[in-house]
Chain A
């Protein structure tokens, strides 16, 4: 474990911020850190760039993190976990809610290397959108129709695109959404090229305690959090 200082806090909406650190980590998109906010808990957070995390307040620690000030100290373990694989053609990124966090890093990583990316980004209402204007090739869906396509991101995928056109597809979001995408890609025999970034309740974050075991025995912290579709038994 080591400590970093908060350099910057960018507010996206009333409950979501990006916290930038004073150091940049050698890391790959899809990896996460165990971040310890002194006085609160240590929680897993995906990197949204080599030097930041993007957090939504859902409970005690994330609430405190959203209100953190520049200069404060944070404990970091990591970066750890298996990252996304890198595509060799156009990539499709499918995000639900705060699931956009690791995909921001993946997007910038691929664009920075001259690749092409399309993003489908689903949220409940337009107020939840994070920085979507920074992406060039993006389609948005909202459950209440307040912006973009009226409906969920899976319906958007069905009307908007032909997933078989992409060399690789990356999904991150609530588990119900991931499971529906899994079914869709399974039906369309595309699972092999789809990667899912999963979340599980984590304790040690280092692959020994076993709290984050999946139904098939794979460990989310040390063998994920990114899994290929064919590795999952959903």
Chain B
């Protein structure tokens, strides 16, 4: 009753693990895959990248500010790690890089992936992420290149830290993206009032969790109105009601990251709650975009 098909990928429910949360090792992905509709790995680049020094994450009332800094072992090492993924659900590999050629080359390392997500949106990594994701021409070119490199579906993950997210979404669509994922974290920071210094080693980072939900919802709403390809909603989703809200706004599926802070059995309990919801209402796929007149 919860099953969906996203760009040809069959999923048992619309709940996906967001990139960068519990996604660096097959062991944790296997665990989440027991109940998720799909899992997205931590973003990976061509070369090994250290990421920022600790502290890289701070929690506050309504979420987190993080500046992990796209730490990654590099595509070759990561592809070996992902061979231990047992296939409990579809596996989506998240990619980052600084040029169309560089990102497109990465897909060849992951022939076993069910789809790819291009991270065009990390707000706190220099030269990759947002630096490439805020230029519509470059976004279109990146998506075109990546599409040519693989027969698998390709999703573009968008940033809210741009003037007009719809413009970037359209550029991805023109490049041939099979779907867009919105949103990545929103630029933010935190200062310790005793030491009078920024808390994160990188000074600023990206805000995630419940605080950003209304912003993410509006982005999903706008993208749904203006694009033809599927929108995958992410940002602050914590309860089954949030899932329903995002689907009403137009999301075909949702991704969840920060809320795993509360429980690693999150997907199990959301799935059970959504089952109770669909028993009294229509199947989930029928409510997509229903809030639009």
Contact = CB atoms under 8 A, between A and B. Distances in A.
Interface residues of A, number: 29
A34 B56 CA distance: 11
B31 A217 contact: yes
B149 interface: no
A64 interface: no
Contacts of B201: 41-42
Interface in B3-57: 20-25, 27-28, 30-31, 42, 51, 53-57
A206 to B, nearest CB: 6
A217 B28 contact: yes
Given A1-B58, A42-B55, A203-B57, A209 B28 contact: no
Contacts of A214: 27
Nearest to A40: B53
B71 interface: yes
A215 B26 CA distance: 9
B27 A208 contact: no
B260 A208 contact: yes
Contacts of A204: 56-57, 66, 68
Main secondary structure of the interface of A (DSSP, over half): loop
A75 B54 contact: no
Contacts of A206: 57, 59, 64, 261
Nearest to B259: A208
Nearest to A233: B27
Contacts of B192: 1, 3, 75
Contacts of A178: none
Interface in B242-285: 257-258, 260-261, 264
Could you say which of B22, B53, B54 has the most chain A C-beta atoms within 10 Å of its C-beta? B54
B260 A73 contact: no
Contact of B199 (A1, A41, A216, A217): A1
B195 interface: yes
Contacts of B257: 208
A2 B59 CA distance: 11
A41 B28 contact: no
B195 A75 contact: yes
Interface string A77-119: 1000000000000000000000000000000000000000000
Interface in A61-79: 73, 75, 77
B197 interface: yes
Interface string A38-67: 100111000000000000000000000000
A207 interface: yes
A207 B260 contact: yes
Contacts of A27: none
A204 B21 CA distance: 10
Given A36-B54, A42-B54, A219-B28, A209 B195 contact: no
A213 interface: yes
Contacts of B22: 208-210, 213, 219
A3 B261 contact: no
Contacts of B53: 41
A126 interface: no
Could you say which of A202, A203, A215 has the most chain B C-beta atoms within 10 Å of its C-beta? A203
A138 to B, nearest CB: 35
A211 interface: yes
Contacts of A215: 27
Contacts of A219: 22, 28, 264
Contacts of B57: 203-206, 208-209
Contacts of A38: 195, 197
A203 B28 contact: no
Interface in B185-206: 192, 194-195, 197, 199, 201
Contacts of B66: 204, 209
Interface in A183-234: 202-211, 213-217, 219, 223
Nearest to B197: A38
Contacts of A2: 194
A205 B23 CA distance: 15
A43 B56 CA distance: 11
Contact of B24 (A36, A211, A223): A211
The 10 closest A-B pairs by CB, nearest first: A42-B54, A217-B31, A210-B22, A204-B57, A217-B27, A42-B55, A3-B194, A213-B28, A213-B25, A41-B54
14 contacts: A1-B55, A1-B58, A203-B54, A204-B68, A206-B59, A206-B64, A207-B260, A208-B260, A209-B20, A210-B22, A210-B24, A213-B22, A213-B27, A215-B27
Given A203-B54, A209-B66, 15 more contacts: A34-B55, A36-B55, A36-B199, A38-B197, A41-B54, A203-B56, A203-B68, A204-B66, A206-B64, A208-B57, A208-B257, A208-B258, A209-B20, A213-B22, A223-B264
